[in-house]
Amino acid sequence: MRGRLLVSVSSIFSDTRGAVAGMMKLLDAEGIPVSLLVAPHIDGNWRLARDHRTRDWLLAQQEAGRVLILNGFDQAVQGRRSEFANLDAHEARLRLAGATRQMRRIGFEMDIFAPPRWRMSPGTLEVLPEFDFALAASTRGLHNLTDGSFRQCRNLSVGEGFGAAKWWRRNVIRAAERGAARGNTIRLSVSGRNLEDRKVSSDFLRAAVAAVAAGADPGDYRAMI
């Protein structure tokens, strides 16, 4: 049985947009779709609503059918605690209300949620259906919020609170290849910040291509709903 390959990119803002677009072009050429993890705030200073170039670029991606995933409300700078990792239902509801309201106001409609670094508290998972999300992705796997089913699948991340050194990237490539050969669902993610490093970019592409060569069918997160 063939597994799936799901590829995503996070930390998309003014400084990283060019590197993200470059990676998308390379993956598109390989027939590998890329899902984009988008947050209204990043690092406490950047605001999507004020960055008209990035906003318009993302809107064009959405219009073209690219999957956009809500990646929290205020995606924190690396080194800080992950935003939705420990929230109770009340606090999660407040943050989700703010995030969905702000994104909708500038033209984005998203039905998939993934918290920063994929770390999601039980309280967050509990309230997501209230905001019409159909799918949630966590460190554990994929939660179908429509029928309540769960698909356990490991996420292999580069950057954004995870490793990016050469040894880490080598392990990601090997794990992606092994998992695909076993028919597992492979989730690969990378931070846009790290894509500015050509070696990181090259190895991330290599991991995705290796997974496909080992038997994984490339798709996007919407295919998992």
User: pLDDT tens digits for the chain (225 residues)?
Assistant: 689 999 999 999 999 999 999 999 999 999 999 999 999 999 778 999 999 999 999 999 999 999 999 999 986 644 456 899 999 999 999 999 999 999 999 999 999 999 999 999 999 999 999 999 999 999 999 999 999 999 999 899 999 878 999 999 999 999 999 999 999 999 999 999 999 999 999 999 999 999 999 999 999 999 999
Q: Cα dist. 79→69, 71, 101, 152 in Å?
A: 22, 17, 27, 27
Put simply, whether the predicted model's pTM sits higher than 0.85 gets the answer: yes
Report the pLDDT value the prediction gives residue 79, as an integer from 0 to 100.
Answer: 47
* Burial class, 196, CB count within 10 angstroms (exposed 0-12 / middle 13-18 / buried 19+): middle
Instruction: Determine contact, residues 159/194, Cβ cutoff 8 Å.
Output: yes
Backbone phi, psi, residue 219, to 5°:
-155, -175
Region of residue 185 (left: phi > 0; alpha: psi -120 to 50; beta: else): beta
Report the pLDDT value the prediction gives residue 136, as an integer from 0 to 100.
Answer: 98
Report the pLDDT value the prediction gives residue 80, as an integer from 0 to 100.
Answer: 53
Report the pLDDT value the prediction gives residue 160, as an integer from 0 to 100.
Answer: 81
Nearest to 126 by CA among 153, 165, 155, 87: 87
The token pair that represents 191 in the structure block: 């931070």
The token pair that represents 10 in the structure block: 């996070």
Instruction: Determine contact, residues 204/5, Cβ cutoff 8 Å.
Output: no
Report the pLDDT value the prediction gives residue 77, as an integer from 0 to 100.
Answer: 45
Fold of 4-224: TIM Barrel (3.20.20)
Instruction: Determine contact, residues 99/70, Cβ cutoff 8 Å.
Output: yes
The token pair that represents 157 in the structure block: 């991340």
Beta-bridged to residue 189, according to DSSP, are 8, 157
Report the pLDDT value the prediction gives residue 46, as an integer from 0 to 100.
Answer: 92
Report the pLDDT value the prediction gives residue 82, as an integer from 0 to 100.
Answer: 83
Nearest to 158 by CA among 117, 119, 121: 117
